[in-house]
Structure 1
Amino acid sequence: MKQIMSNEVEELVSQKKDLSIIDVRETEAAAAGKIPGAVNIPLGLLEFRLQDLDKSKEHIMVCRSGGRSSMAAKLLENHGYQVVNMAGGMMEWQGPTE
């Protein structure tokens, strides 16, 4: 599984790149602050929302520490999606949140 560091994601966000960032934390945790532009799909619902994800894009998976996003990345990879896991999760994120 591919990994990306939080500072690399921050750089991509600051450059206003067309990114697909999926935050797999529970809704309450994501509501407290998520990466700008990230879509919150809790891990437990991800399998039921696969049809909402574009298979032609690479998706950056994010959670609190990197564990759940790693599981989410494996699930998506098994369904043919291009994914990269943000190592360290939001605990490592130094950029702005919304």
Structure 2
Amino acid sequence: MSWARALRFPRLPLKVRPITLGLKSIEGNCHNFCTTVFKDVTYLELKNLLKSKSIMLIDVRETWEILEYGKIPGSVNIPLNEVGEALQMNPKDFNEKYNEVKPSKSDSLVFSCLAGERSKKALDTAISLGFNSAQHYAGGWKEWATYEYSEKKQGN
């Protein structure tokens, strides 16, 4: 064992040594993972955030899905395969393409999709680009539509 490695990983019983397998690829980028608290947004939290207008909600489903099934009011459609490029666009191009002000790295973003899989990927992309106030709505359109339908039904 090299002296540098010995300083980082002193001789400890095997079961208390740090687990490092698979972490080489994120070495140097730990600040993105260590300083950010990842939190899923619940339906009620998202509803309140939208009312307060303190977030940008980005729906990462394909455009045809939104046209066919609907969308959460106030969301901006940026399909998953465009998220990385969109978040790196200059503000003028972003505004022209998405008809919205481009978020800064300190703005609060929430990603949504149908059921949480694609929004989690979008969140990972955003965090890797330095958007440390990003979150995702794991329930997605499926959960939103269920709650909204039941609220409207109770309101009648």
TM-score, scaled relative to structure 2 = 0.56
Asked if the contact 1:24/1:69 (under 8 Å) is kept, the reply is: yes
TM-score, scaled relative to structure 1 = 0.86
Q: CA deviation at 1:16?
A: 3.9
Aligned to 1:80: 130
Structure 1 segments of 4+ aligned residues over 6 angstroms from their partners: none
1:47 aligns with 2:84: yes
Gaps of 5+ in 2: 1-37, 90-101, 150-156
Two-structure CA RMSD over aligned residues (Å):
1.6
In structure 2, how many angstroms separate the alpha carbons of the residues matched to 1:67 and 1:24? 10
Aligned to 1:5: 42
Larger % of strand: which?
A: 1
Which residue identity does 1:43 align to in structure 2? L
Q: CA deviation at 1:88?
A: 1.5
Percent sequence identity is: 36
Asked if the contact 2:54/2:108 (under 8 Å) is kept, the reply is: no
Asked if the contact 1:6/1:87 (under 8 Å) is kept, the reply is: no
Computing the radius of gyration over CA atoms, which structure comes out larger, 1 or 2? 2
Asked if the contact 1:66/1:86 (under 8 Å) is kept, the reply is: yes
